Structures are given as C-alpha cells and as structure tokens.
Amino acid sequence: MSSRANEITGGLRTADVLPAETAPLLGSSESMRRIREVVEQVAPTDITVLITGESGTGKEIVAKAIHQGSRRSRKPMVSVNCGAIPEGIIESELFGHERGSFTGASELRKGYFELADGGTIFLDEIGELPMAAQVKFLRILENGEFLRVGSSLPRKVNVRVLAATNKDLEVETRHGRFRQDLLFRLRSVTIMVPPLRERPEDIPTFVESFAAETARKHGLEYHGISDAAMEALMGYRWPGNVRELRNVVESMLVLEGGRRIDLDDIRRYLPDGEPVVENRHLPVPVSRSVEEAERELILRALLDIKGNIMELRSLVEQQTQSMEAVVRAGETSVLGRDPAEEPNLSLQEMERKLIAEALERHHGNRRVAARVLNISERTLYRKIKEYGLG
C-alpha cells in the first residue's frame, strides 16, 4: 500500500482504504456470470453503480471488482459504512470540517470524499444516510461540489461513487426516508447480488476458495471435504449468506486441524445442528434418521410460517382498526391510545415505550418488531441496547 494510503488508513474510524488487490467474483451460477459481465462493462467508466442484496452476499466484493477494473485502480478505494457513523457527525466524516466549526473541532479535518479524490468511494448501507446528508451527497453526484462543515467555500472532488444497500430504496422513498431524486441519480446502473440460497451451485467454489485461504493463513494442510458434506452445505439455507459460509468453513478447518470434513462435521458446525435441505433436486444421500429429522424441521418451519401469517393478519387488523379510530377521533395514537393519558412522557420515553410494547406483543421477535415499527433491525438492536430492553 502506498504511503498516501497508509496516511489515510491511520485517520479512518468507520472507513477502510482498500488496496488494489485481486477481488475475484467467485461462482459458476448464471446470476454470477451476468454480474461479471455487467462489472466488465461498467468498470472502465465513471458511472455511478448501486449494488443491492441481502447482508453478507458479497456486495463489497462487487465494488472492489469494479474499482480494480477501472482507470482509478491505482488510486485508493475508500469504503465507508454509513450505518456505523452516528448521525450527529456523519456530515463531518463524509465532507470534513473546518477548525472551530463545532465543539471539539480543534483542527481542520478532511472528509472521506476528499481522501478518495481521484479514486473511488464505496458507500455501504447507503439507505442509512440521514436526509440532511443526502442533500449534500446529491450535490457531489451532480457536480462534484461539497462544503466542509463550518465552511462556505465550495470545494471540488473527482471521485467515482459506488453504493450498496440491503434495503428496498423505493420503499424507503415512499416512506419519506430516502430522497427520490437521489435514488434516480444513484441507480444509473443497479447490480443485484442474489442470496446464496438461490445459487447453491456456487457453494463448492466458495468452500474450496475459503478452505485454501484458511489453510494458507493458518499453516494447515487441507485434506478436502466429502461429497455428502458438500451436498449438505449446498442444501443449507445460509441466512448469513457468503459471510456465514466463510465463517463456518474457517471454523471447521481450524478446529478440525485441516483434516477431511465429513457429514458429521457439518452437523456440528451448522447453527441448527442439522443441514436443512431446501432444494429437493439435490441428490443428498440421507439415512432414515436424517429423513425423520428433516420432516420434523419442515413441519416446524410450516408451523412457524402459519404462526407468522396469523400474527401478521392480526397486526394488520389491529392497525386498520387503529387508523380508523384516528380518522374518527383525530386524536388517537397509532397504538389506539389517547395521548392525554400520558401527557408527561418525553420523546425518548415514548420511543422506549413503543419499542418495549412491540417486543412484548411479538414475543421478543425482533425482526417482526422492527418491521412493525418501520425501522431497520440494526436500528432496533441499537435502541434495545440504548434503552436497556435486552
């Protein structure tokens, strides 16, 4: 890494400067073939690219591949996690600030856009960017201009913008949490990275790559993986996608000392203790006991789905009744209560109460509670910790 990149790395807290190293887009599936074709087409240009997909699917790897195939590959790629920066300082982090512009600003500080000048900036979790910062970001996209916090002097940067999100930005736009004009500007080209469960044929390639990398890193001799074990990995749902697969492979190799991985090992290392075969076309040889376990897991999943449907139906009915009450009375809260009953609650207390009630109503199911509250799971986890509701 160049001295300039080292200098940048020393000052970053929520961003990384990525060196120009190989970031292969692994996988033999049709979806990965198409992604590689699009990357080859857009990489030599400066067009803005929006990369979408579930968490852990490899969106940053796609961004690296675009940067490395571009004319800017000799310059740094600054990777910024927008969701990890507190809202109060995100403008300062992105655009920099002047000395004395706010309490604690003891010296001038360049933002990530200035540090990426001439190269690429990758904004991960772009859906978490606050509305105020979205306005300034749009200005950079349109004409390359920005203002440091505390300055009235416009500055110019020459950066290639890549962004990623696991949110549906059209839904965020409809709810007023994301600017429509920014969405239009961002999605000049959109690359959707599918979840691993939709491309199981890519799993053997990932496994062998991660295993070789882990063996090399830890000085192990890798003795391979059995066909039955590989088929079990291909049948598992992988809710954490490629990131989860990498962690499982690394754990198995290190803890098993590099010896050959078999089906029993897979059962020990997968979170549920048993491989869950979703693709019924996979030729997975199983014993009678495993078949019975699968039936039990499938039955349990069906019961969970039924329960979730009933719960969502009840929730829709409750919200419909509540909204009808709002229309009739004009003073009823979303939860159907009269605000006059609790006149002394602060905004924070009201927020804590809403979160606590949502968690209680849905028996601690944080995913459903986040959906009901119309916030991201990451935000819900942060609020739970903040209010001591864990």
- DSSP secondary structure string for all residues of 221-233: ----B-HHHHHHH
Residue range 182-210: mean pLDDT, rounded: 94
Q: What is the pLDDT of residue 21?
A: 42
Higher per-residue confidence, 133 vs 271: 133
Collect all residues with Cβ–Cβ distance below 8 Å to 168 and sequence separation of at least 6.
none
Confidence bin at 111 (pLDDT 50/70/90): confident
Closest CA to 131 of 82, 191, 60: 82
Q: What is the pLDDT of residue 230?
A: 94
Phi, psi of 98 (to 5 degrees): -90, 155
Confidence bin at 231 (pLDDT 50/70/90): very high
Check: CB of residue 144 under 8 Å from CB of residue 157.
yes
Q: What is the pLDDT of residue 315?
A: 58
Separation CA 172–CA 188 (nearest Å): 18
Q: What is the pLDDT of residue 326?
A: 44
> Mean pLDDT across the chain, nearest whole number?
79
The answer to which of 224-238, 289-303, 370-384 has the lowest mean pLDDT is: 289-303
Phi, psi of 3 (to 5 degrees): -60, -35
Residue range 24-48: mean pLDDT, rounded: 93
pTM of the entire predicted model: 0.64
Check: CB of residue 335 under 8 Å from CB of residue 318.
no
Alpha carbon distances (Å) from 85 to 11, 32, 186, 331:
14, 31, 21, 36
Sign for the CA dihedral angle at 125, 178, 89, 160 comes to positive
**Please, what are the domains in the chain?**
3-194 (3.40.50.300), 198-285 (1.10.8.60), 291-336 (no CATH), 344-390 (1.10.10.60)
Which H or E element spans position 123?
Answer: strand 120-124
Residue range 142-160: mean pLDDT, rounded: 87
Q: What is the pLDDT of residue 321?
A: 57
